[in-house]
Structure 1
């Protein structure tokens, strides 16, 4: 599991995907969600702008990220 720092109260899923180089623009988010398995704290995510907060665990195709503070 990788620890990833977020700044502020949350980061949106589309912003996180861009930050981690999964996508190059926000317009690619919908297609990425359709073609990959993404869960937040064990629940499947379908929302492009889902808010991810400190302490959350995001999984993208089995690769897990734990969100930490600044």
Structure 2
């Protein structure tokens, strides 16, 4: 599982998918999230603006990453 490190308290789901390289743009992120293809901590998430915090795990197309906060 990959880790993405953030310097803030949270990152929004759409931004995290782009940062992890799983989608190419915000529009792509919006589409895959609205289609119910993204899971956060094992639950399907439909909100692109969902705030992800330290230790949250995101899964999309069989690939997963964990958010790590470096404050």
TM range (shorter): 0.7 to 0.9
Aligned residues: 69
1:22 aligned partner = 22
Separation in 2, partners of 1:37, 1:27: 14
SS at match of 1:32: helix
* Structure 2: runs of 5+ lacking an equivalent: none
* Structure 1: runs of 5+ lacking an equivalent: none
Query: Which aligned runs of 4 or more in structure 1 are off by greater than 3 angstroms?
Result: 21-25
Give the TM-score taking structure 2 as reference length. 0.78
Contact 2:22–2:60, Cα closer than 8 Å, also in 1: no
- Once superposed, what is the RMSD of the aligned Cα atoms? 1.7
Q: Which moved more, 1:46-55 or 1:18-27?
A: 18-27
Separation in 1, partners of 2:22, 2:4: 15
Give the TM-score taking structure 1 as reference length. 0.79
